[in-house]
Amino acid sequence: MTITAIIVAAGKGERAGGAVPKQYATLGGKSLLAHAVTAFAAHQAIDRIIVVVGEGQADLAVAALGGLVVDHIVVGGAERQQSVAAGIAAAPDADMLLIHDAARPFIPPLVIDRLIAALADQDGAVPALRMADTLARGPAILGDVVDRTDLFRIQTPQAFRAEVIRAAHRQWSGPAATD
């Protein structure tokens, strides 16, 4: 059973501002990307790590990794879905894939454990957090409050049986998927 972590670091980070995309920004002397890679590299169940970068970001990623070794650095696409597909293509022999956003640096080992365990009888699993904040609908003025009883924030990593996520990417014909 081969478990591969795909860390997507191909974004431009425009919403965050700053001199470099947020996945390459530092926190505690280490890039967010390096923190994410370290979490997966330290986990005993992870066999391979693939980092997906944006066009022209390979050198930036290598520098941000600060000597950490990954199995592959591949170039992604203009949309997250294209970048994830590039990571999946770089893991043809993986049985399970954990797809993670490099801008989320801290992944507790227990989350990885639970995701892998969920794949024993599910095709996919995601970490989900209940909504705690009040949500309101409206363009600029506080409008109707949204009932948050059944709302969740979906996190990464997201875990899949590899053949299922590969098939989903092949069959997708809708607009660009975000997660």
- Residue 56 has which token pair? 């022209």
- The pLDDT, as a whole number, for residue 18 is 61
Share of the chain above pLDDT 70, in %: 96
The predicted model gives 97-124 an average pLDDT of 96
- The pLDDT, as a whole number, for residue 60 is 93
pLDDT of 64-95, one tens digit each? 999 999 999 999 998 999 999 999 999 999 99
- 80 in helix, strand or coil? helix
Least confident of 24-28, 62-66, 105-109, 137-141: 137-141
| 27 backbone dihedrals φ, ψ, rounded to 5° | -140, 120
Phi-psi domain of 66 (left: phi exceeds 0; alpha: psi -120 through 50; beta: other): left
Q: What is the pTM of this model?
A: 0.91
Confidence of residue 14 (pLDDT cuts 50, 70, 90): low
- The pLDDT, as a whole number, for residue 19 is 63
Q: Is the pLDDT of residue 177 over 90?
A: no
- The pLDDT, as a whole number, for residue 131 is 92
